[in-house]
Amino acid sequence: MKIIKILILLIILLSSNNIYANDKTFDQWLLSFKTMALKKGISENTFDDTMKDVKFLPKVIEYDRYQPEFYEDTKTYISKRVTNSKIKTGVSLYKNNLFINEIEKKFSVEKELLLALMAIETNFGKYLGKMDIVSSLATLSFDKRRSEFFTKELIILLKLIDNKTIDPSTLYGSWAGAFGNFQFMPRTISNYAIDYNSNSIIELKNLEDSFASAANYLHKIGWKENQPCFFKIDLEQNIPEKFLNTSAKKIRNKKKIHYFKKYIKNFDNIDIDKNIRVAIITPDKEIVPDAKNLSPAYLIFENYELILKWNRSLRFALAVCTLKKEFKNEL
């Protein structure tokens, strides 16, 4: 595992040198981006006020290339995020904010899921991020790896500011441009965030607005209340490779549960309708060298795939669902 981390760091350094050395190129990009933004309807005053202190942030590129999802095995990833401390804090937060019950009922999204997401995203608001979101998004827009995606996010952010939907003075968050208790990207804010406490502005560091916005997002993408996320399985060695999903980019080869019977050692322990369509994931197979025992392995359901829309990481979704179950046991 140490060798993998060293290799990743070397790749970061080698791929980043050209970008860091050329601030003039970033300045040129900023000029062309302004032209694009004005054509998209952003007012010049909003653009100038918002972008006047924007900087290229080399650290953002490093974070982008070295995410935990790329190198931590599943056991390590989950154990760091599903802790007794988080469970205790989440239970206390819920008991002191019973409006969460109202949100659960209104949007048909379990409070345990909302608590799990907030716990993993920001440790209940303790780690909201201190990065200048505008500079982060500008840096990632300038970078070539996912330029189109982050350019669109930055344009949406400028529109939100232009429309006075959000307060630009509060825009500090993650290196990737995510913001608030549940780490919403600008597009998610635009499409799903709501002013739940009716004070004429969306405040995603406010508990009411942030919980309601997260629940609204999950409800609208199709979350099925009280349905499972995954079931841990033991696989036979003869399972064809094509059935093993190791990436969150696209889940493939879904079948009804009973189709996989001959490949699952603990099939008789699965107490779920065997006609439900599922897929199999083996999240460690790509990052653990010579992983041959196909462990851990999971059957994943529709709700699991919906969490992938929130964050396209197999381990993130597993951690959220695991913590959700822990909260269910406590509340």
Q: What is the pLDDT of residues 151-188, one digit of tens each?
A: 999 999 999 999 999 988 889 999 999 999 999 999 99
Dihedrals phi, psi of 256, to nearest 5 degrees: -65, 150
Residue 186 CB partners (closer than 8 Å, separation 6+): 137, 153, 154, 156, 157, 160, 177, 179
Query: Of 20, 48, 41, which is closest to residue 139 (Cα–Cα)?
Result: 20
Domain 2-67+131-179 CATH class label: mainly alpha
pLDDT of amino acid 20: 46
pLDDT at 6: 45
Residue that wins the pLDDT comparison between 6 and 266: 266
Tens digits of residue pLDDT in 52-93: 999 999 999 988 887 666 678 899 999 999 999 999 999 999
pLDDT (0 to 100) of residue 213: 98
The whole-number average pLDDT for the span 325-330 is 97
pLDDT for the residue 30: 95
Domain residues of the chain, as ranges? 2-67+131-179, 230-300
pLDDT value of position 17: 43
Grade residue 294 by pLDDT with cuts at 50, 70 and 90.
confident
Q: Give the pLDDT confidence of 91-145 residue by residue, as tens digits.
A: 999 999 999 999 999 999 999 999 999 999 999 999 999 999 999 999 999 998 8
What string of H, E and C letters represents the secondary structure of the chain?
CHHHHHHHHHHHHHHHHHHHCCHHHHHHHHHHHHHHHHHCCCCHHHHHHHHCCCCCCHHHHHHHHCCHHHHCCHHHHHHHHCCHHHHHHHHHHHHCCCHHHHHHHHHCCCHHHHHHHHHHHHCCCCCCCCEEHHHHHHHHHHCCCCHHHHHHHHHHHHHHHHCCCCCHHHCEECCCCCECCCCECHHHHHHHCCCCCCCCCCCCCCHHHHHHHHHHHHHHCCCCCCCCCEEEECECCCCCHHHEECCCCCCCCCEEHHHHHHHECCHHHCCCCCCCEEEEECCCCCCCCCCCCCCCEEEECHHHHHHHHHCCCHHHHHHHHHHHHHHHHHC
pTM recorded for the entire structure: 0.88
